[in-house]
C-alpha cells in the first residue's frame, strides 16, 4: 500500500468507530478482515495509527480545536510523527486510494501548529490525562496527588498476557511448547501461572494456543479467578461469564471437577465460550443463557452454590488502555444505569449462595462508585454477609504476600496499571454467615 492508502484506511476506520457502539478493535478487525489484500506490515501500521490517535484524542482536539477524525490524523502525523507539511501534502494528494487534498481549514491548522510541541506543558489536567472531564473529576478526587501517575498509565499500551492451562500440562511442559513455537515470554509479577508475551507474534496460530495449552488472559483477571478459591467439590457459578475467560480459569483450578455453571444474558458472548472449552480440555462446565431476571435458574439454584462469582458489567475503566475509544462513548447516564444493574446482580448472586459460601464481587473498573462503594451498599442491606480479607486468601492460594498497595482497607483487592502493570481490577470476597 502507498502511504496515502494506509492513511486513508486509518481515517475510514476512525470515522466508523466514531459513530458506532461496537468496540474499536472489533471494527478495526472487521475492516481489515474484509480486505485480505492488505499485507501484515500495512495492517500493523494502520492499526498503530488508529490506536495512537485514540490515545491522544483529547490532546489532539485541544490543540487543533477540532474533533474530526481526519484532522486528528493530520495533527498526529504532524506533531507526533513529525511529518513535514510538504510530505503531508503528498500523502493527502487526492490520488486513487489516497485521502483527498488538504483543504484551507486544515492548512490553517497546520500553520497554527507549526510552533507547537505535542508534549505541551499547558494541557488542562483532564486533557493531559486523556479522560472525559466528568470521569477525570471523579478520579482526581479519588487518587489525589497520584492522579497524574495513575491516569497516565490508563492510556499506555498494555502487554499481552497469557495463562498457562494447568489441565493440559505443567508450567515447564507448556513453556517448552512455547519455546518450540518461538514465542518469547517472561513471568508476570503476581500470577504464578501468568506470562507476558514479548514482541510481536501471531499467538492464535501457535501450537500452544491451538492445543489449549494457554489462554489469552490479563494477569489481573487471573488473580480475580484465583481469589474465588474454589475446588472440585464446590458448586461454583460464574454469573456474568461473558465469553468465559474466568470460567476457564475456575475450571482449571477445580481440576475439571464440578459442577461449574457459566451464565450470561448475552448469548453471543456465551457462544464464544464453546470453542474455548473444546480447546481447554474442560468437561465440567455447563453453559446457561439467562433469559432475564425471572429466569427459572435463579429459583432452581437458590441457596445451592459454595462459590458465586459476579464479574459485573461496568465502565471497563480498568481496561481503557486496551480500548481507548470506549471511554469517550461512556456517558453519565450509562454510568448511572450500570450502577443500578450492579446492585441488582449483587442481590441476585447473594440468593444463590449457601450458608458458609462466598459471593465474589469483581469489576474491571478503577472508579470507587463501582467498587468499594457498591460493596458498602451491599453489606448494609445484606447483614448476613461479611467481608473476608483478600490478603488471607491470597496467601493461601498464591503462597505469597498480597502487595500492600493492592489492598483497600486491608480487605479488598484493587489493581491498577500504574501500580501493578495489570488491567484495573477490583475484587471483594463476601462470606454468607446465615441464610
- Peptide bond between residue 143 and the one before it cis (omega within 30 degrees of 0): no
The whole-angstrom separation of Cα 366 and Cα 408 is 12
| 367 — pLDDT class (breaks 50, 70, 90) | very high
pLDDT for 416: 98
Output 115 or 78, whichever has higher pLDDT. 78
pLDDT for 427: 98
CA distances from 219 to 20, 38, 196 (A): 29, 32, 9
Q: Work out the average pLDDT over 76-87.
A: 95
Residues 125/146, Cβ–Cβ less than 8 Å = no
pLDDT for 91: 96
pLDDT of residue 121 exceeding 80, the answer is no
Look up residue 344 and give its three cell numbers: 441488582
| 160 — pLDDT class (breaks 50, 70, 90) | very high
pLDDT of residue 206 exceeding 90, the answer is yes
**Domains of the chain with bracketed CATH:** 3-123 (no CATH), 124-153 (no CATH), 160-216 (3.30.70.1170), 219-432 (3.40.50.150)
pTM of the model: 0.94
pLDDT for 20: 84
Amino acid at each position: 500500500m502507498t502511504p496515502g492508502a494506509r492513511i486513508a484506511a486509518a481515517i475510514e476506520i476512525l470515522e466508523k468507530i466514531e459513530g458506532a457502539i461496537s468496540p474499536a478493535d472489533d471494527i478495526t478487525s472487521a475492516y481489515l478482515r474484509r480486505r485480505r489484500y492488505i499485507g501484515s506490515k500495512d495492517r500493523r501500521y494502520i492499526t498503530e495509527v488508529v490506536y495512537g490517535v485514540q490515545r491522544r484524542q483529547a490532546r489532539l482536539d485541544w490543540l487543533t480545536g477540532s474533533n474530526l477524525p481526519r484532522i486528528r490524523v493530520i495533527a498526529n502525523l504532524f506533531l507526533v510523527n513529525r511529518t513535514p507539511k510538504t510530505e503531508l501534502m503528498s500523502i493527502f494528494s487526492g490520488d486513487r486510494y489516497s485521502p483527498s487534498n488538504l483543504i484551507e481549514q486544515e492548512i490553517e491548522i497546520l500553520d497554527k501548529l507549526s510552533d507547537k510541541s505535542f508534549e505541551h506543558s499547558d494541557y488542562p489536567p483532564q486533557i493531559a490525562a486523556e479522560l472525559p472531564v466528568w470521569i477525570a473529576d471523579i478520579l482526581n478526587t479519588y487518587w489525589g496527588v497520584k492522579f497524574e501517575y495513575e491516569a497516565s498509565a490508563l492510556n499506555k499500551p498494555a502487554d499481552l498476557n497469557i495463562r498457562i492451562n494447568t489441565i493440559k500440562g505443567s508450567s515447564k511442559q507448556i513453556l517448552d511448547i512455547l519455546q518450540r513455537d518461538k514465542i518469547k515470554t517472561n513471568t508476570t509479577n503476581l500470577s504464578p501461572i501468568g506470562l507476558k508475551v514479548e514482541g510481536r507474534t501471531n499467538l492464535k496460530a501457535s501450537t500452544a494456543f491451538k492445543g489449549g495449552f494457554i489462554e489469552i488472559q490479563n494477569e489481573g483477571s487471573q488473580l480475580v479467578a484465583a481469589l474465588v478459591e474454589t475446588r472440585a467439590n464446590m458448586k461454583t457459578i460464574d454469573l456474568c461469564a461473558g465469553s468465559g475467560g474466568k470460567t476457564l480459569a475456575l475450571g482449571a483450578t477445580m481440576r475439571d471437577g464440578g459442577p461449574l455453571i457459566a451464565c450470561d444474558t448475552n448469548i453471543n458472548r456465551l457462544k464464544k465460550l464453546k470453542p474455548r472449552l473444546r480447546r481447554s480440555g474442560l468437561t465440567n462446565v455447563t453453559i446457561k443463557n439467562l433469559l432475564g431476571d425471572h429466569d427459572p435458574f435463579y429459583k432452581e439454584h437458590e441457596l445451592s452454590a459454595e462459590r458465586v462469582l459476579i464479574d459485573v458489567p461496568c465502565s471497563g475503566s480498568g481496561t481503557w488502555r486496551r480500548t481507548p475509544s470506549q471511554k469517550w462513548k461512556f456517558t453519565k447516564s450509562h454510568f448511572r444505569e450500570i450502577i443500578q444493574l450492579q446492585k441488582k446482580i449483587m442481590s441476585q448472586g447473594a440468593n444463590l449462595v449457601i450458608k458458609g459460601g462466598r459471593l465474589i464481587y469483581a469489576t474491571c473498573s478503577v472508579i470507587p462508585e463501582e467498587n468499594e462503594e457498591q460493596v458498602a451498599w451491599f453489606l448494609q442491606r445484606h447483614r448476613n454477609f461479611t467481608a473476608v480479607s483478600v490478603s488471607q486468601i491470597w496467601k493461601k492460594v498464591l503462597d505469597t504476600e498480597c502487595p500492600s498497595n493492592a489492598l483497600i482497607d486491608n480487605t479488598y483487592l484493587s489493581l491498577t496499571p500504574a501500580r501493578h502493570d495489570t488491567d484495573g481490577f477490583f475484587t471483594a470476597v463476601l462470606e454468607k454467615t446465615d441464610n
